[in-house]
Structures are given as structure tokens and as C-alpha cells.
Structure 1
Amino acid sequence: MRKLHERLQELRPAHLKVVVGFDGFVDEIVEAVDRRHSFASYTRMSNMTQFGERISKAAGLSTNIELVPKTMKLGGNGPIMANALVKLGTSVSYMGALGRPNVHPVFNELVEGCTEVYSLAEPGHTDAVEFDDGKVMLGKMEGLNDIRWAALKEVVGTDKLQAAFSDCDLAATLNWVMTPHLNEIWTGLLELLSPREDGTKPFLFVDLCDPGKRQPEDILEAMDMIGEFSKFYRVILGLNRKEASEIANVRRLRLSKPAEEAELEEIVRALGEDLGFWCLMVHPVSEAGAYVDGEYFHVQGPFTSKPRLTTGAGDNFNAGFCLGLMLELEVDECLALGKAVSGFYVRQMRSPAWQELLDFVALWADKGGEEF
């Protein structure tokens, strides 16, 4: 971490150009009540097992689970990642479901920070039930059905779309699972793009976002389409540990153990070799691994057992990882930068500014392997 901190002090991200799309959610962070002691006092369910058991025990009967709202914030993988990159100092263009005809107030900070914003549809709504060991996302996503290629061309314009996705350091298309027409958008972009004259390629980051609810044949088709972007970009597929298992099972990868039990290095290498993208990255809660050019990279994160907010942690990790790539850091340093951004986020309930990120990396270096 000392070396990373020293390198970051010499860098600034202000020259970096990013385009992100296409979802948008209003996230309502809630706690599930285990026992209520009075109108003003209750004990929350601290882990997902409690929540699951409460539901399971009511099978064939019924039950009531009280949800206590804690805060409302911008949500959706795209807005959260874009907002983190804005805070870190990059120039961001956002296209997605932020509200139409009027942008929802939870996105005001993002809109003010972005260079350009194009809102195509009403956002979805998520009740994010937070636990110490994870979260349950209860989503309503009707508005995202309006995120289509025709709408993008109408609101943004073909010339601006081509410029935004060509003249950038990073393009990110997120939440394939909840954006039902993203394949259609990918097809439109593939027809619009052309290789750069100088032969260089920007980065394209793709996050499927919990593909388990989609049919295996749909996932396979998505993998093929993502691969087509390799003509124009250095393609990065980012997955959490659950998603990595799901993709490995759909691809019928042969591992030493069931995909859910395989060691991180084994599943990252297997997926990386099988899919053939420029980078395959997987980020469990306490560590992260990436496969690039036949080499495996790994870091342990600054773990905390008491996160204050986990909804959006993965998107903040993705922002930090991609920022590291754009700054031309080594891959293991990019993984560490992702862990630092998400580590700050789960502790402070917001994305860090650039100097705050540097300070957090310095603190991580001081603490070493200690929890903080």
C-alpha cells in the first residue's frame, strides 16, 4: 500500500473521459425489524439467515416483516459507479433512467457533477434490506423497459453517441439483468463504432449484475455479444463471487470443486481463459482477483466486519478498479484501488473525493492486515 500511495500522489484523474449507462434506481435503504421494544426502539435482523428463517418458518402460513427506512439515495449500478468516478475527479457523461420529464431529486448531485447527462426514462425503485453479512435488493424496474436504442438515438443523437463511446478513456454498460433491451443497445453501438485510426483501444467495463435470474441461453448470448466489443475496446467483465459461480456453471467449466466452492484463483483463471476478454475480474467481499494476459493478480481488501452501508459497494469497487486502469497502474494496484474506494464507501456511506482516497490508502498502509 505504501507504493500505491506514493504513485497516487503523482497522479491526477481530471483528464480522464468516461461514459456510463444505462440504468437508474431510487434506492431506499431499510432495516428489517427482529423485535420491537417500543415505538422508538427495536432490534434489527443483523444477518441474512435471520431474514431467511423468518420467511421460511411462515411457509404455508403468513408473516409480517417490518422494514424501517434509514435513508434514500441514488441507486442503480450505472449512477453509483458514475457518481464515484465524478467524486474522484474524472469527466463523466451519463445516459440512463434518471427521471423523465424531470430528473428525480436523488440524482441532483450526479447531474451537477457530470459533464453531460441524458435521461431517457423513469428510474426503478429498490428497497435495499441491509444486514451485516450482505443485503437483499427488492426491485421494481418498470421504467427500465423504456431504455432502448431508439430512445438513445432520439435523446442523445447518433453523432453524440458515436463521439461519447469513441472519444473516451472508459465506457461502462451496466446492469444487463435489469435493462431488458441492453442487447439491442449493444447491437446499435457495435454498428456505430469503428476502430481508432491510431490503433489504440479505450476500456469497456461490463457488469451483468446478478445474472442468475436470466436464462442460460441469454447469458451465453450476452457473453458472445460482449466479446464482439473486443474489436474496439479492451473489454473488462466484472463479477462478484456469486456471479462468477453462475457464469462458470452456465459455461460448464470443469473445476476441481463445484463453482460455488472453488478457490478464487481457480475460478478467475478458468473464466478468464474460457471467455477470452482482455480482463476477467472477480471481487468477493474481502479480496479481489483478476486475469489479464494469462496472468493472475490478487489483493486482500481492508475488511471491516461492521460496514455502515453495503448497497453500492461493488459499484464503488468497479469505479476504483477502472480508475486505476485508466491511470495505467499495475493490475494488482488497480485491484487495491478498487478495494480502497469500496472500503471508504462502506465505512463513510459515500464515495471518496480524490484526496480522501489518498488518505484512506495511507491509513490502510498503516493498519496493514488489521481490521479498521
Structure 2
Amino acid sequence: MSTPMKRYTDFLQNVRGKILLGCDGFVDETYELVDVRRGPADFTPMKKLKQFGELIVQRADGGVGLELVPKRRCEGGFAINTGRVAACLGLKPRLPGLYGGKAIDPAYEPFAKICELHSLGDPALTIALEFGDGKILMSNLEAVSTLSWSDFEKHFGQAKLDAMFSGVDILGLGYWSLTANFDELFQGFMDQYRTATPPRRMFFDFADIKKKSSESFLRSLELIRSFSGKIPMVLSLNEHEVLELCSRIGVARPELTPAAIGSALAVAREKIGFAELVVHTPEFAVATSVTEGVALALQARQTKIVRLAGAGDSFNGGYLCASLGELSLKERLVVANAVTAFFVTHGFPPNREELAAQIEKAADK
């Protein structure tokens, strides 16, 4: 076994830690669109997102009738999509969120034994249109947008909250753009560590930054930065989100190349005062750290795609888990890339043996 692979296998054999992620919950109803139908069970799906967009533009003055074919009804959201990676690696993440009111929704039942699901109510609904090269997500956000920290306090009580937040190594909060009370929830999370031992790091996925105003965005960044001296803050972005981040904080928008993004990311990280910024794309991942500088991990674009919804969250889950060990910045990116590659080609995250095999395949490790 090569020396690089030994570091990964040693990490996977010994990975330990407590992860707490909140606090959303979606049920994703995923469909594909029919392009050409030849018979009751014989059709060609619309494979390109661009094809769908062009069709909408062509018929903008009239109407568009499209046929949906169900693909799956499944769990969705930052907490479960990210946390299931940890669960598949043998960890048992704590996931407060919206997984069902009177009972756990069937979409979440497979995770009830391998995750600590703490449900405050029914999940939100997302309609996902999936193509071979991308997806469209349309969500009814009422359940998520009304969730507040006071709901946590009323539902759990302080004793249960103390137990939930104690001993946490990595704390995560996702989908800022979909959560109306994000700042309040974050403040509630931070209040749990006024006297308790804080986590080793806190992780964020803001999702579609364009959805909310610059004022709201900058206010959230400033609030997070105010706690960065106590807990190292990590923000993960995709290739579109990093461009929006740069525009909103006054950093020149980079070209979508590893070198250009790496340079811009270093400037952006210092400007917003986070410990780490991470960018993931289908072909590479880049990160910058206050202690390790800039790192890059190339990734072969996957072609035999089974599932795209949840790919970014799977990357985040891999990065979070890799952060529990002593891996370098680049090695954490390699682990996250491998989790993503496995997920999009299998439809579910890898276990430890499958992840080691996926890393072994990587040309850049």
C-alpha cells in the first residue's frame, strides 16, 4: 500500500467524533421529464438542463406542457444529506430538525437507527426535476422558514438541549438562504457554548446566496465572525456560490479555474474572517485555511450518474468527517471528492471500505 493510501486507511479505520447538524428537513419528490415517448413504458428522458431551459424560452409567449415521471421520494435537506455520510462511516450524527410530526416520515425511517433524529415537526416539501447534468429544486419552505430557536427551547427544554450540544466535535448549520430565522438559530447554537466546551469547528453551507439580500448576507457573516475567536468557522460553496460571495464582499470574480478560484478564495477568507473556505465543483475542489494556505484536489467528472440531488451535501459530509482526523487540507478535499464521486454513481454514500476503494481510484490524492 502506498504511503498516501495508508494515511487514508488509517484515518478511516480510526475515525471517531460527535457531529451535530441542524436544523432543516425536506422530503424530496424527484421526477424526470419525458422528451420523447414511444409507448407506455418506453420513453427518452430529457437529459440536459439546458434543453429544458431552451424549451421554456421558446414557448415563453404561450404555454408548456410536460410529462413528469416519478423517480423517487426520499429524504432531503442539509442535515440528513450531510449527516448520512457520517452515518455510513459508522458515526451516529445528532440531527435536530423536521422529520415528522406524530411519527417519523417514511422517507426518514431508514436513518432512524443510524442517526440520532430529533424531530420538531413535519418536513418541508421539495419538487426536484433531475437531468443528466443538473437539477431544478422547487421547495415549499413554510415549515423551514417558520422554524425558530424558541421552537427548540419549547420542544426540548434546556436539559435536553444541554445533552444534545455537549461533547460535540463538529457543529453544522445549513441552507442559510432557505431559513428565514438563520441568525436566530445560529445565536441559539452559540448560546449553548457560553460555558460548555465549544466544538472543534463549525461548518456552514449557505446554499443559494442570490436568494437573499446583500444586507442580510453581510449581517449573517458579521454575526458568525463575532464568534470566530471561540470556534473556527468553515464555509462550503459550489462554483456558482463562490462567484456570488466574491461579488457581495468586493472581491474580483475569478474565472472558474482551480488557480483563479484558489487565489480569490484566499482573499475572500481573510476578508470575512473565517478559518476555512471550501469550494467544490464536478472537476475539482479548492480550499483555503488560516493555518494551511491553499489546497487543490482534482476530480474526474463522473459520467455514469445515478443521482445528483444531494451531491454537494455529500461532499460536505465527506469534508466534515475528514476534519475529525489529522488529515491535511488537501487530504480532506480528496476524501470529500471521493464521497461525492461514489454518491452520484451509486445513489447513496460509501461505507469505510467503499470510500477507501474510491480514494484509491483517484488520480490526484
**Normalization by structure 1: what TM-score?**
0.91
**Normalization by structure 2: what TM-score?**
0.93
> Which position in structure 2 is the counterpart of 1:355?
353
**Which stretch of structure 1 is more off in the superposition, 142-151 or 261-270?**
261-270
- Kindly provide the CA deviation profile for residues 205-262 of structure 1, in whole angstroms up to 9, marking residues without a partner as x: 011011111111111111112212313322100011111111111112135x578999
> Which position in structure 2 is the counterpart of 1:279?
276
Alpha-carbon contact 1:324-1:337 (below 8 Å) kept: yes
- Kindly provide the CA deviation profile for residues 143-178 of structure 1, in whole angstroms up to 9, marking residues without a partner as x: 113421111112222243344335211111111111
Letter aligned with residue 358 of structure 1: A
Letter aligned with residue 94 of structure 1: L
The RMSD of aligned alpha carbons is: 2.2
| 1:169-208 superposed matches below 5 A | 169-194=169-194, 202-208=200-206
Q: Give the unaligned 5+ runs of structure 2.
A: none
In 2, distance between residues paired with 1:345 and 1:108? 20
> Which position in structure 1 is the counterpart of 2:43?
42
Shift of 1:275: 1.3
Matched, 1:67 2:68: yes
Distance 1:282 1:44, change over 3 A: same
Matched, 1:245 2:246: no
In 1, distance between residues paired with 2:217 and 2:117? 29
Total equivalences in the alignment: 362
Decide which of 262, 265, 269 is 1:268's aligned counterpart: 265
Shift of 1:310: 0.9
Matched, 1:108 2:104: no
Alpha-carbon contact 2:25-2:77 (below 8 Å) kept: yes
Letter aligned with residue 95 of structure 1: P
Shift of 1:201: 5.0
Matched, 1:136 2:136: yes
Alpha-carbon contact 1:118-1:155 (below 8 Å) kept: no
Letter aligned with residue 348 of structure 1: H
Distance 1:292 1:196, change over 3 A: farther
**Which stretch of structure 1 is more off in the superposition, 275-284 or 246-255?**
246-255
Matched, 1:330 2:339: no
Alpha-carbon contact 1:15-1:91 (below 8 Å) kept: no
Alpha-carbon contact 1:13-1:88 (below 8 Å) kept: no
> Which position in structure 2 is the counterpart of 1:120?
120
Indicate the percent of aligned positions where both proteins have the same amino acid.
Answer: 28
Q: Secondary structure at the match of 2:305?
A: coil
Alpha-carbon contact 1:97-1:119 (below 8 Å) kept: yes
> Which position in structure 2 is the counterpart of 1:52?
53
Q: Give the unaligned 5+ runs of structure 1.
A: none
> Which position in structure 1 is the counterpart of 2:7?
7
**Which stretch of structure 1 is more off in the superposition, 298-307 or 244-253?**
298-307
Shift of 1:203: 1.3
In 1, distance between residues paired with 2:167 and 2:30? 36
Shift of 1:22: 0.5
Alpha-carbon contact 1:16-1:90 (below 8 Å) kept: yes
Letter aligned with residue 103 of structure 1: I
